[in-house]
Amino acid sequence: MSETSRFVVSSEWLQNALGSPDLRVVDASFYLPAQNRDADAEYAAGHIPGAVRFDHDKVADHSTGLPHMVPAPEVFAEAVGKMGISENDRIVIYDGPGIFSAPRGWWLFRIMGARNVYVLDGGLDGWKAEGRPLETAVPSPAPVTFMPQFRVDKVIDFHTMLEIVGDSSRQIADARSAGRFSGTEPEPRAGMRSGHMPGARSLPSGTFSVNGKLRPLPELRRAIEDAGIDFGQPVVTSCGSGITAAIITLALESLGHEDNALYDGSWTEWGSRQDTPVVTGPPSPKAA
């Protein structure tokens, strides 16, 4: 059995596949202010040949006041159809560092009905370091029809999350840093409490990759189990704003765990409210 996720492709594989008629490459880079990177500027300066730019904040539900929330299926379908992407294409998604915002794109395309979606191991930084080809020309693909099949069961809203916390019906895996989880570090967004949801497990997003590449499957499993997650039970992933939660989702799905969903509002929603339970301190010991 391979130790590599079936949802991740190498830079060598992608370079060899460039130009294939069914291949679509998507730059889904997104950065936090602290990263001091500009995704649009980096795309303009040089991207993988044929790559279209997917902006998480633009292809989103703008009615909520929360960042990059999952858009309505028809909104997503119209946006990516204009990018020349159909649900039947082979879609490779990348970001700058490797395993950061690309998994959110991978998750979003999949829950909207795309069948063959992959993440580029090593990201654009790795691609550049290896001296692989770049282009500055912006592709102008012919529009196509993307037929969405929305997996509503994969997205958790606030009221459902409140019920889950209340009845412990699903495990909660939190991708924020250990300090934000425990409440010893402030949240990067103003006016937000730090800490975590009662019963949540701490699985910082950086746990799952090394140098922008997803860790081997046995290491992913060990990290998840060491955090107290039972593979036989359902999991909800969460983070700061719904981006890096998808890294845990990628790890779970790579290991065959399909009974998972992502809390889209994540801590931006939960931590900014005054009517939600928040716990500080390290996670409680896992059950024996």
Q: What is the pLDDT of residues 42-86, one digit of tens each?
A: 999 999 999 999 999 999 988 888 889 899 999 999 999 999 999
Q: Please tell me the predicted confidence (pLDDT) of residue 286.
A: 58
Q: Catalytic residues, which ones?
A: 239
Name the pLDDT band for 288 (thresholds 50, 70, 90): very low
pLDDT for 287: 45
Q: What is the pLDDT of residue 285?
A: 61
Averaged pLDDT, 144-151: 98
Tens-digit pLDDT profile for residues 171-201 = 999 999 999 999 999 888 887 888 999 999 9
CB 228 within 8 Å of CB 286: yes
Whether the pLDDT of residue 165 is over 70: the answer is yes
Whether residue 88 is predicted with pLDDT greater than 60 in this model: the reply is yes
Q: Is the pLDDT of residue 2 over 80?
A: no
List the structure tokens of 183: 């409440």
Task: Output 131 or 187, whichever has higher pLDDT.
Answer: 131
> Measured between alpha carbons, how far apart are the two ends of the chain, in Å?
29
In whole angstroms, what is the distance from residue 35 CA to residue 159 CA?
Answer: 32
Give the confidence band of 33 by pLDDT, cuts at 50, 70, 90: confident
Is 1 a residue whose pLDDT tops 60?
A: no
Q: What is the pLDDT of residues 95-110, one digit of tens each?
A: 999 999 999 999 999 9
Measure the CA–CA gap between 187 and 227, rounded to whole angstroms: 22
Report the distance separating Cα 150 and Cα 163, nearest Å.
23
Average pLDDT, the chain: 95
The pTM assigned to this predicted structure is 0.96
Torsion of CA 74, 261, 55, 85, to 10 degrees: -50
Amino acid 211: pLDDT: 96
